Structure 1
Amino acid sequence: MSEPIHPETRIGHVHLKVADLDRALGFYCGVLGLGLTQRYGERAAFVAAGGYHHHIGLNTWESLGGSPPAPGTTGLYHLALLYPNRAALADALRRVEAAGIPLDGASDHGVSEALYLRDPDGNGVELYRDRPEAEWPRDPDGALRMVTARLDLDSLRREDG
């Protein structure tokens, strides 16, 4: 077995094939609030939060007018956007609900709180926030214990932003 990679290594970005670039930008920028950092002609764009060059790339190079993959096929399960705190996650929930986008699910994993939905191309999107590590549930031997419980959406909606 090889040595682990550097512990500060992170996923830098995700690049998605989409059927309609403007529709995808309407979701990622218009609903979720990411900023358009660059448009690459009429077939690709890059979006991000906080002035980063890009967290998500969107392109129609091989998918213009295409349809989502059929159930039972391999590919992306979901991409996840990590919000800095519960208030920011609550803002994301308000944006999604205001746009009329249904949730596929909402879970409390003990270590995090997560909302699950689909973008206009059927790609899974997770919007989540991590709890502080000191609050993570652990077994008596100290091992991390992730759970899946129903997230209290009413409590999240009441969160001040």
Structure 2
Amino acid sequence: MKIQRIHHVAYRCRDAKETVEWYRKYLNMEFVLAIAEDRVPSTKAADPYMHLFMDAGNGNILAFFEIPNSPPMGRDPNTPDWVQHICFKVESEAVMLEAKARLEAAGIPVVGVTDHTIFKSIYFYDPNGHRLELCFDCATPEQMKQLDDVKWEMLEEWSKTKRAPKHAAWMHESELAQ
């Protein structure tokens, strides 16, 4: 079996309408589909929901569930909030900076621009508390080959030591020197 692509990724939302409007306004995603049921098709549980689908470009779908009969949304308290996030690729630094300005003008706090050497990104939160990232690629073929050449060694070292291998430390050395 070979996976063709991700069909959709689903998250929970507090308010379906607010979520659709926010993603349309700030990330220019089109609202493509809504499904609502009183019972969950897979489990047959009586649990009404609204399932909505947003077009994230190139066949990528970001979906949300509003489930009003469940306890309020929360986070895994054992996972730092910077870990779980959705990253959307944009075409250029100019597009990313335009989005950053639009978000900040609306009072949405933005972290970055963060330079990861092979891409640059900004971070912010949607109205549901999901951390989002916009990035654009700026890697050279040489940088990507260098990373590809060491990925298995890095994984093996991490697996044994649980310490960050230094094979790709060059990516953030200039930041760490500051």
Report the alpha carbon displacement of residue 63 of structure 1 after superposing the two structures with TM. 7.1
Report the alpha carbon displacement of residue 133 of structure 1 after superposing the two structures with TM. 2.7
Output the CA distance in 2 between the equivalents of 1:123 and 1:138: 32
Report the alpha carbon displacement of residue 130 of structure 1 after superposing the two structures with TM. 0.8
Report the alpha carbon displacement of residue 9 of structure 1 after superposing the two structures with TM. 6.3
Match of 1:68 in 2: 74
Output the CA distance in 1 between the equivalents of 2:112 and 2:58: 30
Output the CA distance in 2 between the equivalents of 1:51 and 1:58: 18
TM-score, normalised to structure 2, is 0.63
Q: Name which of 23, 33, 39 aligns with 2:34.
A: 39
Output the CA distance in 2 between the equivalents of 1:85 and 1:104: 18
Matches within 5 A, 1:70-109: 71-73=77-79, 77-109=84-116
Output the CA distance in 1 between the equivalents of 2:57 and 2:79: 34
Stretches of structure 1 that go unaligned for 5 or more consecutive residues are 151-161
Output the CA distance in 2 between the equivalents of 1:88 and 1:63: 39
Local SS of the residue matching 1:43: strand
Cα distance, 1:73–1:63 mapped onto 2, change above 3 Å = farther
Local SS of the residue matching 2:104: helix
Match of 1:146 in 2: 171
Aligned-pair identity in percent equals 24
Output the CA distance in 1 between the equivalents of 2:22 and 2:129: 12
Q: Alignment RMSD, CA only?
A: 3.4
Q: Kindly indicate whether the alpha-carbon contact (under 8 Å) linking 1:19 and 1:65 is maintained by their aligned counterparts in 2.
A: no
Q: Kindly indicate whether the alpha-carbon contact (under 8 Å) linking 2:14 and 2:66 is maintained by their aligned counterparts in 1.
A: yes
